[in-house]
Amino acid sequence: MQQKIDQVVDVLQKARRDFPQACFASSLGAEDMVLTDLIDKHGLDIEIFSLDTGRLPEETYNLMQAVSERYSTPMKVYFPDSAAVENYVAQNGVNGFYGGIASRKACCFVRKVEPLRRALSGKGSWVTGLRRAQAVTRVNLEVSSFDADFGLQKFNPLLDWSHKDVWAYIRNNDVPYNKLHDEFYPSLGCAPCTRSVTPGEDIRAGRWWWEDPENKECGLHASKSSQVAHGFGVSASSDALKRRVQTFLEKS
Ligand code: SF4
């Protein structure tokens, strides 16, 4: 385990050394708490920031507060542009993301991608907590690669860590974490777009649970080709999608 930790610290140091103005985008998920702990513990000059979409679960706000009390490295929080949110809601409705992939991605764009672009503006490199095993959309990731969408070198130091590795680090180092993880939410996002999973389900099955697995990115880590699919209008919603949403709402 120590060897894996040392390798992560090496990657973080490289990101900071080779690319001044390195930053770490924390989603406050379990992996990102590991990286927050290591950045703070080693006093690495990497700016930590997070995005408040306005639709986060209460438990995530509690964790944000715990992070600010535990660590001396500050975590800057970016918010969506209020006029853009108002416009989205006027066009799609406050829960318009259930209406189709285009309207869901448009919501993610307004609440996540645009604030992320602002946060990354002027930065030299971007550290993330992505792991290969998290999703079919992440199997081809590399530890370091150029992200053409954001024009930055991107580092994924935990790429080959397992779910077990992440939780071993959190337990061994008493790292604060989102209490929803104890209620079968292995992957966390906005409250209306995240549900708990059952044993045997994919760990990201609870994210945008009404969509097909290959669509399950919000645009923060999508490839250029997949971002072409981002739209700002509302697509015709499919019957299958409507049925999945309806089934979920009936079971909730
Ligand atoms: S996860 Fe859901 S609520 Fe959050 S930005 Fe994306 S579509 Fe909107």
Mean pLDDT confidence for 33-61: 97
18-22, 76-80, 166-170, 176-180: which has the minimum mean pLDDT? 18-22
Amino acid at 199: P
Pocket-forming residues, ligand 1, beta carbon under 6 Å: 53, 55, 97, 104, 107-108, 111-112, 189-190, 192-193, 218
Closest atom of ligand 1 to CA, residue 110: 5
pTM greater than 0.85 (yes/no): no
- 239 or 114, which is more confident: 114
Residue with CA at minimum distance from ligand 1 atom 1: 190
Q: CA 39, CA 195: separation in Å to the nearest integer?
A: 30
Q: Which domains does the chain have, with CATH numbers?
A: 2-251 (3.40.50.620)
Query: Per-residue pLDDT tens for 208-217?
Result: 777 766 666 6
Query: 23 an active-site residue?
Result: no
Cβ–Cβ under 8 Å, residues 128 and 8: no
Residue with tokens 């995005």: 51
Query: Per-residue pLDDT tens for 49-73?
Result: 999 999 999 999 999 999 999 999 9
Q: Which of 28, 81, 108 to mutate to test the pocket of ligand 1 (most atoms within 8 A of CB)?
A: 108
Check pLDDT > 70 for residue 115.
yes
- Which listed residue (23, 108, 190, 218) is catalytic? 218
